[in-house]
Amino acid sequence: MAPAAGADQRVTPGFVRRNGYGPRMAATLAVPTTSYDVRRHRLRNGLRVVLAPDKAAPVVAVAVYYDVGIRSEPEGRTGFAHLFEHLMFQGSASLGKMEHIRYVMSSGGTLNGSTRLDYTNYYEALPSNALERALFLEADRMRSPRVTEENLANQIAVVKEEIRVNVLNQPYGGFPWLSLPPLLFDTFPNAHNGYGGFEDLESATVEDAADFFKRYYAPGNAVLSVGGDFDPDEALELIEKHFGDIPRRKTPPRPSFAEPEVTEERRGEVVDDNAPTPALALGWRVPDPADLDAYLPYVVLADLLTRGDASRLRQRLVHTDRLVTDVSAHLGVMQDPFDVRDPTLLIVEAYHSADVSGDSVVAAVDDELARLAAGDLDADEVGRVQARQAASLLTRNDFILGRTLLMAAFEQQRNNPGLVGELPARLGTVTPEQVLEAAGHLQPDRRARLDLVPGGNR
Amino acid sequence: MTPRAREVPPLAKPRKPRLPAVAERVLDNGLRVVAVRRGGVPMVHARLRIPFAGRKPEHLPKRWALDATMLHGTAEHSRTELAVAMQEIGGALSVGTDADRLQIRGESLAKGLPRMLELIGEVVTSAAYPSDAVAGEVERLQTVLRQRLSQPAEVAAEALRHRLYDGHPYGRDLPTPDEVAGVTAAAVRSLHRRWVVPAGSLLVLVGDITPARALDHVEARLQGWSGKGTARLPKPDVPVGGGLTLVDRPGAVQSNIRLGGPALPRTDDPAYAAMSLANVVFGGYFASRLVQNIREDKGYTYSPRSGITHGDTASTVVVEADVATEVTAPALVEIAYELGRVATTPVTAEELDSAAHYTSGILALQTATQSGLASTLEDLLADGLDVSWLRTYPERLARVTTDEVREQAQRHFAPARLATVVVGDASRVQDELGGLAEVVPADGG
């Protein structure tokens, strides 16, 4: 994105003037603002398109986000959204098994997909001369994936191995992303295991897959995001050419998954036969991410608590009291504050030795939160945490694929892909008062506490 | 309603990546500095690579302790002050070590570069290793190591290192908790004095910077760093092939299969390009034979793969697959079959073409970001190559023939030349594995 190259893109260096709260400490650098050339379109079949041209390097990223995720799964079909993601790589209208993958990779590209609570995505990063090919491949499986008895059975086996490698055979596997939600949430969509039970996976049928595709994979339920080295008018023509004739279908309404507030502490325990030492996780509901002004203070708070050696909980729990081997705070079970919709949570997770009691770890966390809530926080500390957060976002956005994915998510959630450029500055508008208020919300009676107990079997 | 098949569009004319312009200076103290301007976002990324190749067994626990405490304060700043100073420039520092080198990795807002260099300079010249902090970290590390050693993938990697490089520093990466327990602050300080020196070290800076000015900043802030250079590790002798090492993990629902053997170092030699492509065709990407066979056909595993790793004095082929316990032996049969096939029969022109395009494309993607370019340059320069490799390597890949691939596959992927390690429930897998190879239980489990 060097401002040379006669490209359509631009990054405007400038300086954020922070709102309110006191003078900035001279030592903290102002965070340069960024803005990207972002264009939005909607095809007649309802597909939403985001184009973000950037000629800096001869690479492109293509991402398709479907508005279906773990929360969309019906009871008795746990893990189905993720299994279906695997099936989308098994061939499509014009392509046999493995062909999609071979076409991407033999073009010099890489690809993947992922299943989250609120979306399922598919993406490629490739040399820019492969743009049309990538669009064709995504359109072909949006038109019709090729699910057979054989490849369904094969991918059920593969997913079971994925679950074994990441959960069943892995110390701390699934902790806390699979084990905390059932404690903090009460309804099936929010609480159930998104990897799925083996019995549910094994009973999945080709018919289930066809129904799921028909219901959730309509063009009107998807966002196509393209970033990198291309001409936007040409790209739009190619998109029309390949996606334009996919028939419009009804799109499912997105239900509300909201649940009532937690009003007294919930406690749970999970035994992990693979783990040698204990761990614990605390989870609190946080405001709807759609309301950025209410949500961002928690994003700042999480980093202020555990990011880097100057953070509150690392100083106290790791270095001073030496209670834990590691502690981290993050938003959302997938550890990405911006890939999730309401309801979601802030998690503090800590790993400790058996000589240390979980209660002493929790007491120290509560003590630090109480200190914050009582007002022990100055603008300098918030300012430098924000500077680091903003800079990290800049690094994430430097990768065309990272930026393209985030734009797709923001289009899907907020109709605002340009927020990717604005976000570093938006984080900087959070005031210390808002951070204090967020810390004050993290009370014991609003949380779930999950203790991981080592089974001692290994 | 079967939709009609459509034609897959051809590739358009490729646009070549521009080769980055590199400014370079060797300081009087021997530190080699390379700075590259890469706009994009207003950030800068630093990689300081310091040779750190201790040969004695006690080097291993000491380097773990140093790695964990190097940023715990300097003569001028406490640990917290150092972290605060980095946050103020939107940055962070981290330290990592392996058997060959210590790496300080940093990033900050581009305007923060002089400050970041000042802080890196402080760390290398006056890291304090306060006794209390070292004692605390040494205690923490013991628990961390227990956690690491509970992970089957770590156990498997360590067992394979041991099989290939026993008696050489490459033979271990994880010290035992007991070894770490004995490390003192004085020992860590003395390790720092001996090894953290500018001679033979390399600093790479990539970002939204003016390279000439960046070099001046480095000179101003790091010229006071001094010390005598150190030697690289001797080249290890790698045994070829041998039996199957079985590490018992009672109750495990999966077996972690690892095979390894010697590989060529990264050089300009066409043989290196051919070996790399043999790896890609065999198991180095998702479109490979290994993935096609044991994942997409048999469903034995989630992410089988092969790769080449490089140390300063040895490179290694590694094949990995984590498979359901009940298919451990069948999976190993298929892996051996694919290894044998790539070593004895020619790959197709199509497979070769795909692997070459993939390898070039991935290099372009890796070097399209500031951070990726910094890491790639660090590796290239450390291997005695330079930035021109980013252009010449894709050209070389495009010229590799199927005969050259077979020759390299024969040398580096033939199953009899690789050592095999399995971590799994011995009571359930030992008998079947015994039918495939001589099974040697690992000492100490």
CATH number at residue B111: 3.30.830.10
In this prediction the pTM is: 0.95
Distances in whole angstroms, Cα of residue B213 to Cα of each of B19, B362, B423: 20, 31, 52
**Which residues on A lie below 8 Å from B149 (Cβ)?**
276
Query: What is the band of B3 on the pLDDT scale with cuts at 50, 70, 90?
Result: low
Domain count, chain B: 2
d(CA A442, CA A397): 31
Minimal C-alpha gap between B164 and chain A (Å): 25
Q: Is B231 on the interface with A (CB under 8 A)?
A: no
Residue B241 has pLDDT above 50, yes or no: yes
Q: Are residues B83 and B218 in the same domain?
A: yes
Cβ contact B9–A110 (<8 Å): no
Cβ contact B40–A171 (<8 Å): no
d(CA B61, CA B173): 9
A105 vs B287, B302, B323: nearest CB:
B287
Query: Quick check: is A342 in a domain?
Result: yes
User: Which residues span the domain enclosing A46?
Assistant: 39-243
Which chain A residue's Cα is nearest to B20? A57
Q: What is the pLDDT of residues B250-265, one digit of tens each?
A: 999 999 999 999 999 9
pLDDT at B1: 44
Q: Are residues A373 and A418 in the same domain?
A: yes
At a CB cut-off of 8 Å and minimum separation 6, what does B355 contact?
Answer: B277, B280, B281, B284, B285
pLDDT at B367: 95
Amino acid type, A321: D
Q: Are residues B270 and B403 in the same domain?
A: yes
Cβ contact A158–B301 (<8 Å): yes
Q: Are residues A236 and A273 in the same domain?
A: no
Q: Are residues B153 and B198 in the same domain?
A: yes
Contact B433, B329 (CB under 8 A): yes
Query: Quick check: is A261 in a domain?
Result: no
Residue A3 has pLDDT above 80, yes or no: no
Q: In terms of residues, how long is chain A? A: 458
Query: Quick check: is B4 in a domain?
Result: no
Residue A14 has pLDDT above 90, yes or no: no
Q: Are residues A220 and A284 in the same domain?
A: no
Q: What angle do CA A248, A252, A258 make, to 5 degrees?
A: 155
Query: Quick check: is B368 in a domain?
Result: yes
What distance lies between CA B74 and its chain's CA centroid?
29
If you average pLDDT over residues A428-445, what whole number do you get?
97
Query: Quick check: is A22 in a domain?
Result: no
Q: Are residues B217 and B351 in the same domain?
A: no
pLDDT at A31: 79
Contact B140, B76 (CB under 8 A): no
DSSP annotation of B436 reads T
List the alpha helices (DSSP H) in A319-418.
358-373, 379-398, 400-414
Residue B73, φ and ψ in degrees, nearest 5: 110, 155
Place of tokens 């204090």: A436
d(CA A283, CA A278): 17
At a CB cut-off of 8 Å and minimum separation 6, what does A149 contact?
Answer: A206
Q: What is the pLDDT of residues B299-339, one digit of tens each?
A: 999 999 999 999 999 999 999 999 999 999 999 999 999 99
Domain boundary pick from B222, B255, B273: B222
A126 vs B91, B287, B361: nearest CB:
B361
Q: What is the pLDDT of residues B51-100, one digit of tens each?
A: 999 999 999 999 999 999 999 999 999 999 999 999 999 999 999 999 99
Q: Is B445 on the interface with A (CB under 8 A)?
A: no
B11 vs A129, A169, A310: nearest CB:
A129
Cβ contact A309–B353 (<8 Å): no
Q: Which range has the worst mean pLDDT, A235-239, B1-5, B295-299?
A: B1-5
Q: Is B436 on the interface with A (CB under 8 A)?
A: no
d(CA A281, CA A304): 18
Q: Are residues B316 and B432 in the same domain?
A: yes
Q: Are residues B218 and B284 in the same domain?
A: no
Contact A24, A379 (CB under 8 A): yes
Cβ contact B361–A397 (<8 Å): no
Domain boundary pick from B222, B254, B282: B222
Pairing label, strands B244-248, B439-441: parallel
- Lookup: tokens for B221: 């802030």
Query: What is the band of A19 on the pLDDT scale with cuts at 50, 70, 90?
Result: very low
Query: Quick check: is B236 in a domain?
Result: no
pLDDT at A23: 37
Q: Are residues B68 and B173 in the same domain?
A: yes
Residue A279 has pLDDT above 70, yes or no: yes
Minimal C-alpha gap between A372 and chain B (Å): 18
pLDDT at A456: 65
Pairing label, strands B202-207, B32-37: parallel
Place of tokens 């010449």: B392
Query: Quick check: is A116 in a domain?
Result: yes
Residue A9 has pLDDT above 70, yes or no: no
Minimal C-alpha gap between A399 and chain B (Å): 6
Q: Is B43 on the interface with A (CB under 8 A)?
A: yes
Q: Which of A1, A29, A316 to mutate to test the interface with B (most CBs of B within 10 A)?
A: A29
Q: Are residues A288 and A231 in the same domain?
A: no
Query: What is the band of A7 on the pLDDT scale with cuts at 50, 70, 90?
Result: very low
pLDDT at B321: 98
> Which is nearest to B408 in space by CA: B421, B419, B397, B394?
B397
Query: Quick check: is A360 in a domain?
Result: yes
Q: Are residues A191 and A304 in the same domain?
A: no
d(CA A280, CA A295): 24
- Max distance between CA atoms of chain B, in angstroms, equals 76
Q: Are residues B429 and B395 in the same domain?
A: yes
Q: Are residues B179 and B283 in the same domain?
A: no
Q: Is B212 on the interface with A (CB under 8 A)?
A: no
Q: Are residues A131 and A79 in the same domain?
A: yes
Which chain B residue's Cα is nearest to A355? B143
Cβ contact B151–A171 (<8 Å): yes
Cβ contact B87–A308 (<8 Å): yes
pLDDT at B4: 65
pLDDT at A310: 97
d(CA A138, CA A136): 6
Count of Cβ atoms closer than 10 Å to residue B436 Cβ? 15
Q: What is the pLDDT of residues A68-100, one digit of tens each?
A: 999 999 999 999 999 999 999 999 999 999 999
Cβ contact B303–A165 (<8 Å): yes
If you average pLDDT over residues A153-181, what whole number do you get?
97
Query: What is the band of A6 on the pLDDT scale with cuts at 50, 70, 90?
Result: very low
Query: Quick check: is B2 in a domain?
Result: no
Question: Do you find a cis peptide bond into B415, omega within 30 degrees of 0?
Answer: no
Q: What angle do CA B304, A274, A284 make, to 5 degrees?
A: 100
Q: Is B8 on the interface with A (CB under 8 A)?
A: yes
Minimal C-alpha gap between A301 and chain B (Å): 15
Cβ contact A136–B3 (<8 Å): no
Residue A285 has pLDDT above 90, yes or no: yes
- Is the model more confident about A346 or about A31? A346
Q: What is the pLDDT of residues B272-293, one digit of tens each?
A: 999 999 999 999 999 999 999 9
Which chain B residue's Cα is nearest to A245? B3
d(CA B325, CA A128): 43
Q: Are residues A236 and A271 in the same domain?
A: no
User: Which residues span the domain enclosing B127?
Assistant: 22-222
Residue B423 has pLDDT above 60, yes or no: yes
Q: Are residues A299 and A224 in the same domain?
A: no
Pairing label, strands A222-228, A266-272: unpaired
d(CA A282, CA A450): 6
Count of Cβ atoms closer than 10 Å to residue A438 Cβ? 27
Q: Are residues A435 and A376 in the same domain?
A: yes
Pairing label, strands B92-97, B43-51: unpaired
Amino acid type, B227: G
Query: Quick check: is B13 in a domain?
Result: no
Cβ contact A58–B152 (<8 Å): no
- Residue B320 gets the label, from left (phi > 0), alpha (psi -120 to 50) or beta, of beta
**Which residues on A lie below 8 Å from B134 (Cβ)?**
none
Supply the CATH number for residue A121's domain.
Answer: 3.30.830.10
Q: Which range has the worst mean pLDDT, A168-177, A417-426, B2-11, B27-36?
A: B2-11
Query: Quick check: is B425 in a domain?
Result: yes
Q: Are residues A238 and A273 in the same domain?
A: no
Q: Is B9 on the interface with A (CB under 8 A)?
A: yes
Q: Are residues A278 and A403 in the same domain?
A: yes
Residue A24 has pLDDT above 70, yes or no: no
Q: Are residues B210 and B261 in the same domain?
A: no
Residue B291, φ and ψ in degrees, nearest 5: -65, -45
Query: Quick check: is B340 in a domain?
Result: yes
- Lookup: tokens for B159: 């067992």
Contact B412, B272 (CB under 8 A): no
Question: Do you find a cis peptide bond into A176, omega within 30 degrees of 0?
Answer: yes
- Residue A63 gets the label, from left (phi > 0), alpha (psi -120 to 50) or beta, of beta
Residue A108 has pLDDT above 90, yes or no: yes
pLDDT at A2: 30
Q: Are residues B203 and B276 in the same domain?
A: no
Domain count, chain A: 2
If you average pLDDT over residues B206-228, what whole number do you get?
97
pLDDT at A408: 98
| Beta partners for residue A453, in sequence order | A271
d(CA B124, CA B221): 11
- Lookup: tokens for B441: 């239980």
DSSP annotation of B286 reads T
Q: Are residues A331 and A445 in the same domain?
A: yes
Query: Quick check: is A401 in a domain?
Result: yes
Cβ contact A95–B8 (<8 Å): yes
Query: Quick check: is A101 in a domain?
Result: yes
Query: Quick check: is B237 in a domain?
Result: no
Residue B2 has pLDDT above 70, yes or no: no
Q: Are residues B212 and B262 in the same domain?
A: no
Cβ contact B92–A155 (<8 Å): no
Report B:351-410 residues touching A (Cβ under 8 A): 353-354, 357-358, 360-362, 364-365, 368-372
Report B:239-278 residues touching A (Cβ under 8 A): 249-254
d(CA B374, CA B372): 5
At a CB cut-off of 8 Å and minimum separation 6, what does A306 contact?
Answer: A312, A313, A314, A327, A328, A329, A348
- Max distance between CA atoms of chain A, in angstroms, equals 65
Query: Quick check: is A26 in a domain?
Result: no
| Percentage of chain A modeled with pLDDT above 90 | 92
Cβ contact B83–A308 (<8 Å): yes
